[in-house]
A and B are shown apart, each in its own frame.
Chain A
Amino acid sequence: MQQSRAETGTPIPAPAPAAAPAGEPAPTGATEIFQLRGLTCRYGGFTAVRDISLDIQRNEITAIIGPSGCGKSTLLRCLNRMNDLVEGTRVTGEVIYNGEDIYAPHIDPVEVRRRIGMVFQEPNPFPKSIYDNVAFGPKLEGHRSDLDDIVESSLRQAALWDEVKGKLKQSALSLSGGQQQRLCIARALAVEPDVILMDEPASALDPIATLRIEDLMEELKRSYSIVIVTHNMQQAARISDKTAFVTVRVENETDERTGELVEFDDTTRIFTAAADQRTEDYVTGRFG
């Protein structure tokens, strides 16, 4: 069972998409995993990102790029309601995931996060054994007897199995930074998510470890949809299918800095034939 699971991934059937507000691009069916409609996120009185609308495709890698402080991490965290944990956060607009607005009142954020996994900027393994790190999520869901299989297949998917198979009981903190990050990816895969959000997953790693993570993402996109925030434009160009460019708008009067979506398109277009001058300036290194 676990073998087929590793190969087929998680083909969760998409429910019929909800009707989008008038004036927005109409949903076209099962290819979109996320449809953002006028998403705005505020912390207290400060607007971090404003009015973001874009569609994220299933089984693709979508990159979010932009200068520091443009709110790209905030945007990412809106996709699995991790922002709920920051006090004073208010999200308006819609994040439609498989046809359902995850900010609808009846939605449980815990259930959202079970389906939409996340890998963080700094590797954050639990101070437990390698095995227990991967088994943590499945245990929450009540898995008991098949834990060994889940741990092995998750570590294989994260291309870490061969390096750790002999030392599963060792502390995860004994691994190198790159291995720790792949362990965190394995941990996220173990709960069989639909989507994996990655918040600059390689920024704390050396170039070799970064390449391994990028290769891994290429592998994973066959089974999962991936959204990655990166400030490394080469990385976005190398691995992503679509790229969203977010930038900062500074209000002259209040000096308030708000993230806004400038352009969202195929990665090749963003990097070779951007429609917006600001995008071209950014990807050619003239700004940011």
Chain B
Amino acid sequence: MGLGTPEKSAQQVTSDMAAPRGRALIERPFQWALLGATLLALALLAALLADVLIDGAGRLSWDFFTDYSDSLDPAETGIRTGLTGTMSLMVLTAAISFPIGVGAAVYLEEYASDNRFTRLLQLNIANLAGVPSVVYGLLTLSAFVYVLGFGRSLLAGAMALSLLILPIIIVASREALRAVPQSIRNGALALGATPLQVTSRQVLPIALPGILTGTILALSRAIGESAPILVVGAVFSRRADTWPWELFEPFGALPIQIFNFVRQPEPGFQIEAASAGILVLLALLLTMNAVAIFLRNRYQKRF
């Protein structure tokens, strides 16, 4: 092959580098199949959302939030008790699970030495994150409702949800703490900071956005739970507001409220009011997730 035949040699290069026959037959359809899977999932969600919107949007009004539920007239009913119940549950659950979860994470990451006991703890926490939520409800029922005498109260519901999300908070907080470079700790220690000062003044502030993100995401899981709070006695309370400080009062929650709407025979409850309730719950959930994402993006420190 001489230099005088560039066309031929170019052709040869092309034929060497060309995709083997049949590869395109696999590659392309595979891509389409993956795209199809993605679109199907999205389409199902979109359909559900559209359905709920069509059914429920008409019922959304200020009165729907502020009215007590009315068992007779669907047009007069509201989700006030469910909303106050859910908000109270969230406040209490956060107040219980955040300090305990962050405390456990700080201990495991910053203080615990690496021995068999610590590894056993870590393995257990990872496993606890996968335990079905109703199990936490049953645990709360026997330990707190009966043995400690909390009764079927708001505090018991918050305890059940706290148990449920504690492992999630611990795992997320540990990851946020682990992302703080060791050199920061060394730098602070070399200046004569005590371990407590290193943790409280350097490590925790740097890890806090990550910890908060994890906590909010965990709370947004708790907000939609109904099984564990049903087990410890969440009620569909018709004419009672729940406040976070009414620890030993009966309590309701949005998912319970929605479930109660669905159980009614009239379409005005079963479809319209229930859909509107679902919209409110979804909006709460998406807002929490948005805050979590905002925190993560806004305060993420790069080293």
Contact = CB atoms under 8 A, between A and B. Distances in A.
Given A124-B183, A127-B206, A82 B190 contact: yes
B197 A140 contact: yes
Interface in A104-155: 110-111, 113-115, 117-118, 120, 122, 124-127, 136-137, 140-141
Interface size class of A (residues with CB under 8 A): 20 to 34
Interface string B109-130: 0000110000000000000000
A188 B190 CA distance: 8
B280 to A, nearest CB: 39
A115 B184 CA distance: 19
A117 B191 contact: yes
B193 A124 contact: no
A87 B197 CA distance: 20
Contact of A188 (B185, B191, B206, B303): B191
A97 B114 CA distance: 31
A33 B253 CA distance: 68
A124 B192 contact: no
Contacts of B184: 124, 126-127
B303 to A, nearest CB: 7
Contacts of A82: 186, 189-190
A258 to B, nearest CB: 24
Nearest to B183: A124
B117 to A, nearest CB: 14
Nearest to B185: A85
B201 A136 contact: yes
A206 to B, nearest CB: 20
A226 interface: no
Interface in A230-252: none
Interface string B175-216: 000000101111111111110010001100010000000000
Contact of B113 (A87, A114, A115, A120): A87
A113 B206 contact: no
B188 A117 contact: no
B190 A140 contact: no
B188 A122 contact: no
Contacts of B188: 126, 136
A137 B191 contact: yes
A231 to B, nearest CB: 19
B190 A110 contact: no
Contacts of B190: 80, 82, 113, 117-118, 120, 188
A182 interface: no
B8 interface: no
Contacts of A158: none
B26 to A, nearest CB: 47
A186 B164 CA distance: 47
A191 interface: yes
B301 interface: yes
A113 B195 CA distance: 12
A85 B195 CA distance: 10
A85 B189 CA distance: 9
Given A82-B186, A124-B186, A191 B191 contact: yes
Interface of B: 113-114, 181, 183-194, 197, 201-202, 206, 301, 303
27 contacts: A87-B113, A87-B114, A113-B189, A113-B190, A113-B192, A115-B192, A118-B186, A118-B190, A122-B183, A124-B181, A124-B183, A124-B184, A124-B186, A124-B187, A125-B187, A126-B184, A126-B187, A126-B188, A136-B193, A137-B191, A140-B191, A140-B193, A141-B192, A173-B303, A184-B187, A188-B191, A191-B192
Closest A-B pairs by Cβ, 8 of them:
A114-B192, A124-B183, A118-B190, A137-B191, A124-B187, A113-B192, A127-B301, A110-B194
Interface of A: 80, 82, 85, 87, 110-111, 113-115, 117-118, 120, 122, 124-127, 136-137, 140-141, 173, 184, 187-188, 191
Given A110-B192, A136-B188, 8 more contacts: A87-B113, A110-B194, A111-B192, A113-B191, A114-B191, A136-B201, A141-B192, A184-B187
